Amino acid sequence: MAVAAALASAFPAGASLTPINRTFGDLTLPRVRAGTLAIPRNQASGRVRVIIGLPLPPLAAWSGRRFSSAGGARKLDVAGEASRRYLARVVAAQRLAAAQLRRAIPQARISRRFQIVLDGLTVSLPVTRLPRLARLGFVRHVYPSIRYHLATDTSTAVIGATELQTLTGMRGDGMKIGIVDDGVDAKNPFLNSNGYSFPAGFPKGQLKFTTPKVIVARAFPGPNSGRRGRLPIDRNASFHATHVAGIAAGDSGTCSPGGRDHPPTCGLTGVAPRAYIGTYRVFDIPTPIGDTANTPEIAAAFESAVRDGMDVINFSGGGAETEPANDAMIEVVHNVAAAGVVSVISAGNDRDDFGLGSVGSPGTAPDAITVAAVSNTHVFTPILAVRTPGAPQSLQQIPIAGSGGTRFPGSFASSGHRLVDVGALTGVDGKPVDRRLCGPDSDTNNDARSPLQPGSLSGDIALVSRGHCTFVSKALRAARAGAVALVLVDNRPGEANSIPIQLPLPACMISDLDGARLRTYLATTGGAANVTIGNLIQRVDTGRSGIITSFSSGGPTAFEHLLKPDVAAPGGSILSSTLPEFTSGAPFAVFDGTSMSAPHVSGGAALLLQLHPGWSPQQVKSALVSTAGAAWADTARRQEAPVTLGGGGLVDLPRAARPAVFTEPASLSFQDLNVSRGADSRALVVRVTDAGGGAGEWQVELTPQAASNGASVDLPPLLSISPGGEADLVAVARGSAGATAGEDYGFILLRQGSVTRKIPYEFYVGRPQLGLMEAKRLVKFQAGDTVKGPNRVSSYCCPAAPFGPPPDYVGPTMDETGSETLYVTKIDTPVANLGVAVEAAQAGSLVDPWFLGSPNERDVQGYAGTPVNANELMFDFHVDIGAAGASFPKVQRFWIAVDSSSDAFTHRPLPGAYVLRSWVNDVTPPKIRLLTRRVTAGRPTIVARVIDKGAGVDPLSLVIAYRGVLVGAVVYDPVTGIALFPLPKAAAKIPKGRTRAVVTASDFQEAKNVDSVGDEIMPNTSFRPVKITGVAGPALTWVSPAENQCVAKTAGLVVVASSNKRLRSVRFFADGKQIGIDRKGAAELYSGSWRTRLAPTGRHVLRAVALDAGGRTLAATRHVRICR
């Protein structure tokens, strides 16, 4: 704050000096961290990479074999004569289009070509030529390149795979499952090829990486993936696909020798243990968070899998949903289904971060089988054990999740400690202590305010509830009362979540159900009991499978509000194969994620296709959705999970093998009903077909899980199906004129005797308030406030919880309490991006812009349309940065609602005045100039000027890297571009001589880059190599005004000065005459002012002279102009 005060008093009028906040609830972004910055290749090329769709239908669409019923070939015959003739026609048309493109845009470069699941070309070109590209007559559509990431035992029995194998003998023989991922290790013991032989026409791809089990091995190198990207598996990077392949098709009866995260375990099996595997490596683009993949390579892999004859494609990855009309993978998945191939895709792992509306692409594709994650029957964790004689057996093995990746010290396992329920203690106010252990509601995170009496936990372990205040503040209160450790009771259903940060004392989390049972017991023992807490991994059989995990992404989809996911399968504590290089020894590991739930369903789909070779992808999907069992919303497994989390529910393969009827579509998405101007309704038709044994009359019933007042669904009471025939079921969702706004969802049940089949449905009855407002035209800069006027909107969607869940995990996910201003803008030609950012805001306010596709608070443009950073490659990912936008948007009008939030813990409104900046087509990074090239050796203040003319600089991205540390800026001024990096004690010293460093800065568009704009992974980020010279004496650098700047009537003068001895003063001179002296400074900044009223116009010379306690002086000059 001293730095900010110094700058505020010295800088020219109009400067906007902002201290950079780094604390956001439980998340604190460290200013100093260990690490280095590697400069990515091809930075700042100014090019975009897109797929252009061409006029002819791809082969799969042309073939007309979509969702065929029994009779005829199920899969597309790519090698057939008719297919080869049509492909030749497509190839010839593509050659002509490529020649025309090169003539029209000589700078364009063409790479991948698609003919089977897309008719298109991958093109790289300057972003300025994008409108020209879209106007070319042969270009049907322009698709962006979306960035995708990995959506990172007895689980097969959870979905009934073992039962189905026993009943039918089906084990996947002859079925082929394509794993589009980071490369399968064919040498892993779980994929042992003994007893297999290559089917006819195989192996394919890079043959030395194939076996009779893994029969295809291909690589699809992405931009900058280098030589290793051409390998079907990279033993230094791959790990994920092998785990996925083991779940889907690992050999029966395999044993794991154990590893760091699990004990030795035998009896492992995949869902379809005799199925073949094809590996298609796409995740090969190196980034700081692991290898990623882009749309062109993924589309090429899907196309290759269809060409190779795969029956099922598993994609355990995903990316933030973008405008579906511009998402090539939606069309790819549709045409994969048309080719007769089943696509199974992870729902995503984003619900803890973004709430509902977080299902990722391509899981948003209507033709995909999108899979949510549920708990397994067991976990692999250390345990907490109650050692008091007579304690229930259920309290002898309580699974725990650690804190910040750490485990408890061994002393807690070898000797018992007293565990105390803080709710059993009497607080300083004479009342029982609130189990959440927070400060007063007006200041919940003030750790100096505690309800605990001093010494009340001396030597004990505190049992505390999660929520209401930060983890750190709870730990500090417990420690100050004498606690030696902390056990938190989770407030989310399911198995315990890890504590995301390391706390100042040993800590762990237990599930809500285990916590309730433990507290019930402690109530009989005076609130305390002797416990041990282990640090060795054990397998703990909980018997509570089928609970939706808190990370599993939920629907409806962000843009079109379609019901997803479709089904659920185990995705927690899954033991499967991986690379020993990844685990440093073991070829098996335990992973969590919807990455693990999808291959359960892929294996299941393979079993169903082996049993029913004539089924189409739609019929496989229908069978899985309509017969699914209950997925659970609570740890006690008493409340069924909503369809927005689990779709049809937990896959039940024995029932899916005998579906009785097929339903198309498998679920009903009525989307939004707007009752602002009267009643609204929408009708949808489900075609119900006899699947064998389904003829006759079916009763039709509605089983709502959530219903708002005034909303209803009209259904016929009966549905009659003739043998081998079909019937149409018409369902009408209605909202009356007086209906209450809210979400409606549940199941339509078809009942025939004891047989029931279900069709999930969802819709929202809304009264959009923004549509009642008059919008202002958006310009480059606009000022406004969220103080004056009414508050119309308190929440936005979708996603529904971009700031994460509320601290107590119940209640509204956000509370936008400001007075909204609505802006409107229009895009007339295709652009790479557009958006807005809060450039300046009133101190103490939290201003949030929301980017909308219509004047409707439920039409947020996905992750990018929220105020949070949606780019997981950045330091400030998922932080509310006050910027919102859209990547590769449709050509249309867009609206921006500027609102303000409330404090998540105290609920205090945070309105204020703001300056809003807007941009269009920003694909260039900020410009960086280091000012302090010569500094006093030690820990001086480093100053840089960082300017961005487009989206503006994200202050949290400002980092200097040197000598193995990364140091963030303290203050940034968007007017002058000045960024200050005072080096703290935790940072390395600048030695005498030359030090190499890198200064990095991103603009706000980088925070919205859910698409990969070009070949570079961070196109809106600058990485500037610099050299800093450390000296043993004084150093002096001008900061403001800039060289040759026109100065105002009163010019603010700022220099940064340092020495290895105390600085006595800095004197300022104008044209040789002293005009000021600063003897104090702040953080090595010294300031003065120059009144120029009597000075003539033209060029002038400013001079600053620093004097240290040793009598040494150093001077620096600056040339300026007076312009009147």
pLDDT in tens, 1069-1093: 999 999 999 998 888 999 999 999 8
pLDDT digits (tens, 9 = 90+) for 974-1010: 999 999 999 999 999 999 999 999 999 999 999 999 8
Q: What average pLDDT score do residues 33-56 get?
A: 80
- For residue 331, how many other CB atoms are within 10 A of its CB? 26
Q: Specify whether 1039 is located in the same domain as 1084.
A: yes
At 801-849, the pLDDT tens digits run: 999 999 999 889 999 999 999 999 999 998 989 999 999 999 999 999 9
Is 1049 a domain residue?
Answer: yes
Pairwise CA distance, residues 18 & 16, whole Å? 6
Please tell me the predicted confidence (pLDDT) of residue 13: 46
CA distance 380 to 552: 19
- Residues 1027 and 1041 occupy one common structural domain: no
Q: What is the side-by-side order of every strand in the sheet holding 369-374?
A: 204-205, 214-219, 276-281, 176-181, 312-315, 342-346, 369-374, 567-570
Q: Do 153 and 234 fall within a single domain? A: yes
- Here the CATH number for the domain that contains residue 686 is 2.60.40.2310
> What is the number of domains present in the chain?
7
Distance CA 1049, CA 512 (A): 65
Closest CA to 822 of 873, 765, 772: 772
Mean pLDDT of 774-780: 97
Give residue 62's pLDDT band: very low, low, confident or very high (50, 70, 90).
very high
Same domain for 155 and 140? no
- Higher per-residue confidence, 6 vs 256: 256
Q: 990: helix, coil or strand?
A: strand
Domain limit, last residue, from 114, 129, 144: 144
Q: Three-state secondary structure along 222-274?
A: CCCCCHHHHCCCCCCCCCHHHHHHHHHHCCCCEEECCECCECCEEEECCCCCC
Check residues 73 and 854 and name the one with the higher pLDDT. Answer: 854
Phi and psi, residue 33, nearest 5°: -145, 155
Cβ contacts of 797 within 8 Å, gap of 6 or more: 356, 357, 857, 858, 860
- Assess whether 875 and 939 both reside in one domain: no
Rounded Cα distance between 77 and 621, Å, is: 22
641 domain-assigned: yes
**962 Cβ contact list (under 8 Å, min separation 6):** 988, 990, 995, 996, 997, 998, 1028
pLDDT of the residue at 24: 83
Decide if 1021 contacts 1005 (C-beta within 8 A). no
Q: What is the mean pLDDT of residues 500-520?
A: 95
CB-based contacts of 395: which residues, under 8 Å, 6+ apart?
A: 385, 386, 517, 518, 521
Per the domain annotation, does 1085 fall within a domain? yes
In a domain, 84, yes or no: yes
The sign one gets for the Cα dihedral 269, 270, 276, 280 is: negative
pLDDT of residue 166: 80
Q: Which domain holds residue 262?
A: 148-377+545-656
Average pLDDT (529-540) is: 95
Task: Confirm if 865 and 321 have CB atoms less than 8 A apart.
Answer: no
Mean pLDDT on 907-923: 95
- Considering 141-155, 701-715, 1015-1029, the range whose residues carry the highest mean pLDDT is 701-715
Phi, psi of 1100 (to 5 degrees): -140, 160
Helix 617-626 / helix 328-338 crossing angle, nearest 10 deg: 100
Residues in the chain: 1124
Q: Are residues 199 and 344 in the same domain?
A: yes
Name 744's bridge partners.
763
Same domain, 1044 and 1122: yes
pLDDT at 44: 58
Beta-sheet strands, E only, within 709-792: 711-714, 718-721, 726-735, 742-752, 755-766, 776-777, 781-785
Q: Are residues 841 and 890 in the same domain?
A: yes
Q: Report the alpha-carbon distance of residue 177 to residue 708 in Å, rounded.
A: 43
- Per-residue pLDDT for 377 more than 90? yes
Same domain, 600 and 719: no
Answer yes or no: is pLDDT of 38 > 80. Answer: no
Q: What is the rounded average pLDDT for all residues in the chain?
A: 93
Q: What is the pLDDT of residue 248?
A: 98
Regarding whether 712 and 684 lie in a shared domain, the answer is yes
Based on the domain organization, do 250 and 365 belong to the same domain? yes
Helix intervals (H) in 347-502: 351-354, 411-414, 471-480
Is 707 contained in some domain?
A: yes
Strand pairing of 32-34 and 965-968? Answer: antiparallel
> How confident is the model over 275-280, as a mean pLDDT?
99
Q: Are residues 500 and 554 in the same domain?
A: no
In contact, 770 and 852? CB cutoff 8 Å: yes
pLDDT, mean of residues 15-35: 79
Task: Give the pLDDT score at 12.
Answer: 45
CATH of the domain at 794: 2.60.120.380
* Both structure tokens of 331: 């069309």
Asked whether residue 969 is assigned to any structural domain, the reply reads yes
β-pairing, 574-577 vs 588-591, is antiparallel
Cα 731 from Cα 763, distance rounded (Å)? 12
Mean pLDDT lowest among 327-336, 627-636, 758-767, 1093-1102:
1093-1102
CA atoms 122, 126, 131, 136: torsion sign:
negative
pLDDT higher than 90, residue 27:
no
Examine residue 809 and state whether it is found in any structural domain, yes or no.
no
pLDDT digits (tens, 9 = 90+) for 165-203: 788 888 989 999 999 999 999 999 999 999 999 999 999
* 915 is a domain residue: yes
Q: Which of 68-72, 204-208, 576-580, 1013-1017 has the lowest mean pLDDT?
A: 68-72
CA 303 from centroid of its chain's CA atoms = 26
Q: Which residue has the tokens 């009659």?
A: 720
Domain limit, last residue, from 519, 541, 563: 541
- When computed from its CA atoms, the radius of gyration of the chain, rounded to whole angstroms, is 31
Q: What is the pLDDT of residues 985-994, one digit of tens each?
A: 999 999 999 9
pLDDT score, position 45: 66
Predicted confidence band of residue 41 (pLDDT cuts 50, 70, 90): low
Could you identify the residue written with the tokens 């990364």? 966
What is the percentage of the chain residues whose pLDDT exceeds 90?
A: 85
- Across the range 478-484, mean pLDDT stands at 97
pLDDT at 72: 46
Q: What is the pLDDT of residue 635?
A: 96
pLDDT at 468: 94
pLDDT of residue 10: 47
How far is Cα 749 from Cα 715, in angstroms, rounded to an integer?
10
User: Which one has a higher pLDDT value, 15 or 486?
Assistant: 486
Residue 778 has pLDDT above 70, yes or no: yes
Name the pLDDT band for 1017 (thresholds 50, 70, 90).
confident
Going by C-beta distance under 8 Å and a sequence separation of 6 or more, which residues neighbour residue 479? Answer: 504, 505
List 941's β-bridge partners, or say none.
982
| Residues 881-902 pLDDT 10s | 999 999 999 999 999 999 999 9
Residues in Cβ contact with 783 at an 8 Å cutoff, skipping those fewer than 6 apart = 913, 914, 915, 916
How far the first Cα of the chain sits from its last, in Å, is 35
Q: Which residues in 311-425 belong to E strands, given as ranges?
A: 312-315, 317-318, 342-346, 369-374, 378-381, 383-386, 398-399, 417-421
pLDDT at 419 over 60: yes
Last residue of one domain, picked from the residues 541, 559, 579: 541
* Residue among 950, 949, 946 at smallest CA distance from 958: 946
Are the beta carbons of 528 and 419 closer than 8 angstroms? yes
- Which among 300, 228, 222 is positioned nearest to 1016, based on CA atoms? 222
pLDDT exceeding 70 applies to what percent of the chain?
Answer: 97
Confirm if 318 and 188 have CB atoms less than 8 A apart.
no
- A 10 A CB-CB count for 379 gives 24
Cα 102 to Cα 119: distance, rounded to the nearest angstrom = 18
The reported pLDDT for the residue numbered 70 is: 37
Mean per-residue pLDDT, 690-709: 97
Tens digit of pLDDT for each residue in 125-181?
998 898 899 999 999 999 998 888 887 665 777 777 888 778 888 898 999 999 999
Q: Which amino acid is at 973?
A: D
pLDDT at res. 154: 58
